[in-house]
Amino acid sequence: MLVSLLGFFGGLGIFLYGTHLLSNGLQKVGAAKMRKSLAVITNTRWKGLLSGIAATFFLQSSTVTNILVVSLVSGSLITLAQAFGIVLGSAIGTTLTVQILTFDVAQYSTVFIFLGAVFLIFIHRQLWKMIGHIMLSIGFIFFGIGLITSSLEPLSDHEVVLHFLAELSENPLLFMLVSTGLTALLHSSAAMIMIGIAFVTSDILTLQAVLPLVLGANLGATLPVVLSGLSSKLEGKKLALFYFFFKGIGVVLVMSLLLIYSKWVSLLPGSPERQIAHFHTLFNIGIALLFFPFLPWIAQLFKKVFPAPKTTEAAFQVQLDDNLLNIPEEALLNGRQEILRLADFVRWKMIKQLAAYIKGTITKRELQQAEQMIDSSYIQIQQYLLKLGQRDLTNKQSNEEVKLLNILNDLEHIGDIVMRFIGKTEKVSEKNISLDAEEQKQLDELLVFIEQSYTDSLTAFKEESRQLARSNIQNQAAISQLEKDIKFDHFNNLINKREHNPDISAVYLDMINQLMQIYHHNQNISRTVLGLI
């Protein structure tokens, strides 16, 4: 019996590891492309439903699909009703995997493991390595299923085990709840259903006795999504709760039907394991069709129950989702979006306010508050990107992460320099220094140059425009000449006025130098866009 239990848990571990590897491998290959496809083809609820089926089957994870959907809703690329349609489709998509696994796939496990190992070890091209990764994952899944099934067969001779499972199966509600809890722990409804199928094929349980386990697996699959959704964005909470409620209502309805009459399941075509797979598929198709017509009204209800929080215009709050760290491509996109938002905040609340501060129309306190928000946001975004960097990233993703960290660093430095510039301007009044009309005009002209340079760099980053970034860098000669002209005219002006107070040059030229430091960080952003880091 001990050997059988060790074989069972070993097989389960190999199966779970295989599904984890497969999901990660497929995600690296297609998560970004799948996201773009979902954004384009989900303009109707039917397309959303079908794309949810395809995305989940291709990525081998309804959780990954839901995370992609959260990102799309957050970016207003799809509506909440369309997102709910994709969630319904993702529930059906998970059943296709079980349908495939109920065939006699264990016999092919060694072929997949051998070919996968050969591609990974002996072929150095990235594409073939990825194919090898996927084939090895499939081999582990098939091998795990075979080991689970073979290890359960001897248990049918142990009366203690049979008695325990018979007692459990005689209480369908308890059996369903146990299955729900185990599925939540395993993070895999497919694993739990395959265990149920193994019980049937090993003659440990009957077909009807295993059906509550299948329903429990469906409900249990929603619990990790709900837990991760609670720490997610508002859209993540909505989708997670919708996923739980539509599955939960479906489980209650079908469980009630099974308690009344369950013999109808034996009328489904195929062997018992195929009948379980068909029941699993029909359950998810049935509840999807039940909810599908009402998605627009359900979406409106969720919007009323979970209204968008009100934010003040002056405040800036970082909106990062730790759940996206499991999908590096989406996490990079999330980090990039937040850096763009922060860059826009720096533009409107810092750089564009410099001229207003010089004229006395805004206070130093307002700029200090903005700078504190920038510092706080910088720390949060930097920590997020550094946590992402500790994941298994591709070379392309690692390069993108470094670029984002560089741009983020430039934004934080710009905020610091603005405050240093403010400190220099305060000395103008402290030391009774007055700028004449020409100096004020040149200062304003320099501010315009700097603002335009920052705007161009920000646009180049946002649109990934190498041409605009290159053009912005090429303008450096013009602003360098302006800096020289300002300093030359300043010294000429002092000579003509017979002025020899050293504080005048010290303060005025320090102000110019601080503005030029901002300009250099603007240029750094353009250089980063070009990959010159």
One digit per residue, pLDDT tens: the chain, 533 residues?
667 778 888 988 998 888 888 877 777 666 667 777 777 766 677 888 888 898 888 877 777 777 778 777 776 678 888 889 888 999 999 899 899 988 888 889 999 999 999 999 888 887 888 889 889 999 999 999 888 888 877 765 666 766 777 788 889 999 999 999 999 988 888 889 999 998 888 888 889 999 999 999 999 988 888 887 776 778 778 888 999 999 999 999 999 999 888 888 989 998 999 999 999 999 999 999 999 999 999 989 988 888 876 655 556 788 888 878 878 888 898 899 999 999 999 999 999 988 888 877 888 888 999 999 999 999 999 999 999 998 878 888 899 999 999 999 999 999 999 999 888 887 766 666 666 777 788 888 889 999 999 999 999 999 999 999 999 999 888 888 888 888 888 778 767 776 656 666 667 788 889 999 999 999 999 999 998 87
C-beta separation of 90 from 52 below 8 A: yes
C-beta separation of 24 from 45 below 8 A: no
For residue 430, the model assigns a pLDDT of: 67
C-beta separation of 447 from 486 below 8 A: no
The rounded distance, in Å, linking the Cα atoms of 500 and 515 is 24
- The domain segmentation of the chain, as residue ranges, is 2-305, 322-529
The rounded distance, in Å, linking the Cα atoms of 176 and 255 is 9
Could you tell me how far CA 296 lies from the centroid of its own chain? 25
DSSP code of residue 30: H
Query: Which tokens go with 152?
Result: 């359960």
Domain over 322-529 is classified CATH 1.20.58.220: yes
The rounded distance, in Å, linking the Cα atoms of 266 and 200 is 13
Q: From residue 493, how far is each of 432, 442, 485, 513 by CA, in Å?
A: 17, 13, 12, 19
The rounded distance, in Å, linking the Cα atoms of 342 and 371 is 11
Q: Which residue has the tokens 């209480």?
A: 171
DSSP code of residue 292: G
Query: Which tokens go with 509?
Result: 């030229």
